[in-house]
Amino acid sequence: MSGMRVRASRTESAFEETRARPVTGVLDVWLLDVGQGACIYIVWPEGTSIVMVDCGTTKNGGATSAQMSDWVNPKNSQAGHVTLLVTHGHRNHTSNFREGAIEPQYIEKMMLGGLPQDHSKSFMGWASGAKSRPTYFTAAEFKANDVRFECGGAKFDLLTVNATEAPGVRHEESKENADSAVVKLSFAGYSIVLPSDAELVTERSTMANADKNGVDLGDTTLLISSHHGAESGNSNSATWLARLRPKAGLFSANVDYKTYSHPRCNTVKNFHAYVEEVGDEFDLACGNDRSASSLTLKRRLFGTYDNGHGRARFSTAGVSYACQVSTPACDAQLAPEEMP
């Protein structure tokens, strides 16, 4: 599993009524390449509902703010409901929420992980243009079937948020990261877990909430890596991966070797132990202590550095993955007009 590589080019009642209908259509989860950052855009076509989870970057690479603006704003303007979850206040999760980029006036609901002081004045100024005021969460909050999200027949569980606000809990590296909101999205028998920049304490809070409330976390269809594939704060712990047993994994990072070296090769190896096998081998970029490396894989693993933009499509017919730059982990290639 080693070898060097060159990067490839590249309303509650309304919700309940909708959720009670038979599952039809498809749910598209866009996993957008914003370089060293995160941007997730969830579309339920028949329900005309959108859920955005973060959108920002701190490093060059991936889609520019102008490209994100041109792609997101028309879709949001035509949607019936747009909900935004900002998992925590770090710039690489929020930088596209500003004047000249993603517009706030189409956002009906906005929920913010962390505390008010964790979010910059510029972001809060931008947020004041949304249709309603932002709401915050309680310490280690959990809510199954969370109707604050609206996405047609999809089900959202808020697994935890603000974990360090619970009595006696300490973060291991970054309080803001450890207070990230962790969400599970389920549709048509499939699930995707979005842990943002979770640290070990966040993962433990998620698993404890699941145990207490009878939520099954096992056999996750797609798991986004915590903290862009980092090891800091004991993110992507062995216990976490063994509990979720993901069939596929995604690393949202630009593999900037001079600083973070995300995703870490050890994290990729840990995912490799669980995700399903694909037909042919390919190389996936990763980092080791600020040095460039890669791993030769034959597993359902994606990286925005290698694959660019991605889309996970969930339906009663199954789940499929389309990528801007195809590898054997991808089922199809995205058309240029589909992407930012």
* Whole-prediction pTM: 0.92
What would the pLDDT profile of 193-215 be if each residue is shown by its tens digit? 999 999 999 999 999 999 999 99
Residue 264 to residue 81: CA distance in whole angstroms: 37
User: Within a domain: residue 2?
Assistant: no
pLDDT value of residue 17: 37
Q: Is the pLDDT of residue 306 over 70?
A: yes
Residue type, 10: R
What are the structure tokens assigned to 320, written together? Answer: 């499929």
Give DSSP secondary structure letters for 41-81.
EEEETTTTEEEEEEEEESSS-S--HHHHHHHHHHHHHH-SE
User: Within a domain: residue 134?
Assistant: yes
User: Within a domain: residue 21?
Assistant: no
Span 180-193, average pLDDT: 96
Residues 6+ apart with CB under 8 A from 64: none
Domain range enclosing 185: 26-334
pLDDT value of residue 156: 95
Span 64-83, average pLDDT: 94
Residue with structure tokens 């505390």? Answer: 115
CA angle (168, 173, 179) in 5-degree steps: 60
Q: Is the pLDDT of residue 19 over 60?
A: no
Residue 313 to residue 321: CA distance in whole angstroms: 6
Span 301-317, average pLDDT: 96
User: Within a domain: residue 18?
Assistant: no
Query: How far separated are the first and last CA of the chain, in Å rounded?
Result: 32
pLDDT value of residue 6: 39
Q: Is the pLDDT of residue 187 over 50?
A: yes
What would the pLDDT profile of 106-124 be if each residue is shown by its tens digit? 999 999 999 999 999 999 9
Residue 243 is part of a domain; what is its CATH number? Answer: 3.60.15.10
User: Within a domain: residue 270?
Assistant: yes
User: Within a domain: residue 77?
Assistant: yes
Q: Is the pLDDT of residue 14 over 50?
A: no
User: Within a domain: residue 11?
Assistant: no
User: Within a domain: residue 4?
Assistant: no
**The total number of structural domains that make up the chain:** 1
312 close to 185: Cβ distance less than 8 angstroms: no
Whole-number average pLDDT of the chain: 90
